[in-house]
Amino acid sequence: MNSADQVPVWEPRDTVNKCTVSLAEMFPGKELFVFYHKGQRDSYTAFTLYKLAGRFADRLRRHGFQRQDVIANTLPNSPERVITDLGIILAGCITMNLQHLLVDGSDLYHTARKSGCKCVIMSDNKQCPTWQLLKPYIAGDTDDFITRISIDHTPEMTSSIVVTRYWTGPKIPFLEDLTYSDEEMFVDKVSPSDLAVIFCTSGSTGYSKLVPRTHADTVNCLLMRDVAWYRKTYGQSVKITMYSDRLLGLIGGFSFSSTVVTKVLKDSYTLDESTASQDFWDAVTNEDCTFAIMAPLEVEKRITHITSSGGVFPKKLKYLIVIGQPMTKEQVKKMFLLSESVVVAYGSTEVSSIAGITVQEDNFESYNCGKPSKGNMLRVVGDQNGLCKPKEVGTIQVKGERVFSGYYNKLEHPDPDTLKAFTEDGWFNLEDCGYLDDEGNVFVLGRNKDTITYGAAVVYPGWLEDQISLHPDVILACVVPVSDPVLYHNICACVKLSSTSTVGVEEIKSFCEQRFLPNLVSAYTPRPAFYLIFKEDFPELKTSKPDRLTLKRLAEEQFGYQKV
């Protein structure tokens, strides 16, 4: 067997830097990343990653960046993102995903201030929102490696690195410049306790919180988990390929959490999503992908691409791992068109993997996330922090080796979010509502912040969303509250329909009225009073989760108490 196809039989070192060098020496030809875009394949071996990232690290140190400086990265999934993230870490600095979800950039500035980041990396793509936001603040020449930037909101962020892929005047494309450079590869001798990365929470319920991870965390909690799982599942010498649609800057897609597989991704540098579905099928088929990790909304898009065109599915995966939101039985059932098995995973930025269940057809209960992952303990508590009985809904808490120690915050110490996040006896509050069954499986119904106070009833959106999603034209349902003078909250169903659907509000409303029968005991039957219908323009976060904040705002503007 070619050494490039072997699974590395080695025990990971205690830092990402040592792991990178070791892989490059032992398996220089092993492809670790393959990118697809419009039929083009672009691959990166262990040695190529080390060479390019090491040269980028050398540039960072020669330009004055020091160990544990925070450098923010805004690049989309692309080879440039992988090289810059790894280069930052090899330089001994801390890479941080800098999200830009709000038009005015207030979330980006907030994260930059809290982290004290020194530099921001961005693309010069004119379609990139971050480039449009920050370009007016650039004071230097973008043809230089380091460009001065001056923003009143973020006084410590004084440098920017503008990455280009195409020839623009005298500036050489970023990867081409590194490839043909005669610079040395720099690898800092970091400690396992040094920070390697700061992850940002998704921002679905407000400004992102910052979750720091050390080199030891990254190796032990992420990389070691993958090595053990793949060895157990596939043995020592099987080539494994994984398709991922997860953002490289989020914990579910972090570039260096899987070194024993070849990770296959869509190259999103140009932000052109017109061929996303075809790129997915090209990648899965050509690379003979064993499994994939995807968001449910992205799975739906890929299935629709085939079914709407009358085509046949060219390949079935062995495992499809879905993460990011509670899953209904109907959603999971459809996913068997893509895969022999579906793994429903429950995780968070603060914990990584929390629980999971491998599902075969027709044996899945809605919202079941399976047993806790190895090293985790789960409990469910009520309003007074008393333990809930089996099947009694409460707040889910976790304790274990993967749980982070606290949020990163250079503005306040101690960090107020950290103080609120942990109980006195050390349990982390996930802010999810759910329950444990008699067998120890955890059922996740949604975020506590998403609950709706409907008169005397507390309504969990997942229950309503599950029923609405049974309509054959509904791809996704997201239930949000709107203000009401009597009930406190009334209910609005935000519904995403398939692109070929011809149904309207009245048809969806009629369907719901048939699903949610009137309660003869109470006049306050929990069912939607209002509806917002979407197709392609359904508000989503960059993480492919529904943008509940935007949906709440739209619903409130149209149906809230002051508007009705």
Domains and CATH numbers, the chain: 38-212 (3.40.50.12780), 451-559 (3.30.300.30)
pLDDT digits (tens, 9 = 90+) for 16-28: 999 899 889 988 9
C-alpha 461/C-alpha 72 separation (Å) is 35
pLDDT at position 524? 43
412 Cβ contact partners less than 8 Å away, ≥ 6 residues apart:
none
Dihedral in degrees, nearest 10, Cα atoms 428, 430, 435, 439: -60
Q: Which of the 8 DSSP states describes residue 5?
A: G
- Nearest-10 crossing angle of helices 79-90, 16-26: 120
CB atoms within 10 A of CB 472: 10
Listed residue (78, 115, 80, 77) closest to 98, CA to CA: 115
Listed residue (70, 102, 134) closest to 207, CA to CA: 102
Query: What mean pLDDT is predicted for residues 148-159?
Result: 94
Give me the chain's average pLDDT, please. Answer: 87
Whether 159 has a pLDDT exceeding 60, the answer reads: yes
CB atoms within 10 A of CB 47: 16
Whether 557 has a pLDDT exceeding 80, the answer reads: yes
CB atoms within 10 A of CB 117: 26
- For residue 249, give the H/E element and its range: none
Whether 323 has a pLDDT exceeding 80, the answer reads: yes
pLDDT at position 539? 92
pLDDT digits (tens, 9 = 90+) for 476-516: 999 999 988 767 688 999 999 998 899 999 999 999 888 77
Query: What mean pLDDT is predicted for residues 24-52?
Result: 94
pLDDT at position 521? 35
- Scanning the structure block, which residue is given the tokens 């982390």? 428
pLDDT at position 513? 84
Query: What mean pLDDT is predicted for residues 45-57?
Result: 97
Q: Are 342 and 320 in contact (CB under 8 A)?
A: yes
β-strands 94-97, 195-200 pairing = parallel
C-alpha 284/C-alpha 271 separation (Å) is 20
Lowest average pLDDT, out of 264-273, 276-285, 302-311, 348-357, goes to 302-311
The more confident residue out of 407 and 233 is 407
| Mean pLDDT comparison of 195-199, 275-279, 328-332, highest-scoring range | 195-199
- For residue 409, give the H/E element and its range: none
Grouping H, G, I as helix, E, B as strand and the rest as coil, residue 96 is strand
pLDDT digits (tens, 9 = 90+) for 177-225: 999 999 999 999 999 999 999 999 875 556 789 999 999 888 876 554 5
First to last CA, the chain: 69
